[in-house]
Structure 1
């Protein structure tokens, strides 16, 4: 097994196996920073997008409920910085916990800790610094939101251990990853409303679906290592399960919009997003890792579409009110 107690010389530093070819970290970042940027997943930013977008949706949905013409740029910027920082902290912590398993799986063996690019103690220190940045962002919000944000750390702490004990680690991931669907609303209103709860529930189901697709890349390796996932639990029925999860997601997202007072634009956009989700299910090939990865990554487009729909709904509603 690779010695992870010290970093290798610079010429041993190599890209991570599942990073997009030609990503900006591998092409442009100073070589000494690349191991930490990879640890933060900045060479694979899809996870940051999936963490950020529920925050943006929720903040925008709260602004809709208050009949405001657009989301607060300040809040959107805070959430963006916070998502990058907390995604980095979470990944460094997760990789530290999973370092022995990652070293045994071809797809993850090239990650910074098992490959020796970053020592375990260095990864924990990096996680702490990133978490501190996240805290500095969090304290910019109201007192209720600060307490709500801190509560999410329980889920973040236990998530890496779940695949050792349950076939549903994706459920815990969904609870943690979509906490921003609650925080976004509370940052605007100072409380948690029913639309935010519906948005959160739908987003949790969405995460279970897309992360099951992602987990199929490692299904055989997880079986060999005695680890668990919904990919293993669903097995040959994966498409049926994900189809059901996505269908429930769409219903809950529509209900959240209805309760918040959105209009036709938002509902149309959610229907369009549902077509993309249907494409994921109907074209999924769980035995092809590349197929799974492409469909997993496509969920960023779903998230951006929902956010653009909310902003357009606000703008057009404002225009119609002034006409």
Structure 2
């Protein structure tokens, strides 16, 4: 489709085989008007050299240290924003393989409406019939989860999401797009809130499919994922939620936090949860500073943003 060349960012961290499989699946796409950028996020072994050897036609950058998911992707976003021929930017997890219609189906959405955040249907790699996600659902407690078929999608899942290049210019805070303070987990919710505040809609292309191997970099429910997931929940709430909505939903937020603590007490893992909440306090001054920039760019009402929240307190899956 004319004037919708896509730049695809694939972040690699100790995932060479997965990254190779991901790129090879993209090469089978019906629509080939895209450019891939590989970013080796300082893997233990220099996997950038190996990737360059296999994919000599693809640009591959190796970072000087592990920047995390957020800043690692920011490297790619800056790269593509400096290229005038790139009109939309896709974030794609390296531990995925994609359907051959993914690019063409997503491209239609962003070509027709620049003010959309485009997501897809994400299925389990081992069971192509098991739907894992159709975006992200954000509950009235400000807890987030993978959206299923009947859920209200607040934003695309960061596993695979496409944005018009202007999206990143609209949400930017001092040349930062995804919040590097988050490091990993919750960035998709954060940019989803900021995008919504800037007037962007969430659209899920159900016919476009991604097959996700799961967390190949961090084991699901590992201390790492629990820590950053629950720390960043506090950060995106106090950084990006309008004050009146925060006040109105504060009782639900508190109940959600208590319920989550009870869950971790139940499975005998409360320490990592409490560490996450304690660590979030150290970042609150930074979030308050960034909040000023977020609110300056807001173009929708509190009521509009509230309408995008799921009215459930949370849904444990």
**Same fold? TM cut 0.5:** no
Q: What interval of TM-score do these two structures reach, taking the shorter chain for normalisation?
A: under 0.3
Greater fraction of residues in strand: 2
Greater fraction of residues in helix: 1
Given the two structures, how large is their TM-score scaled by the length of structure 1?
0.28
Larger radius of gyration: 1
Given the two structures, how large is their TM-score scaled by the length of structure 2?
0.28
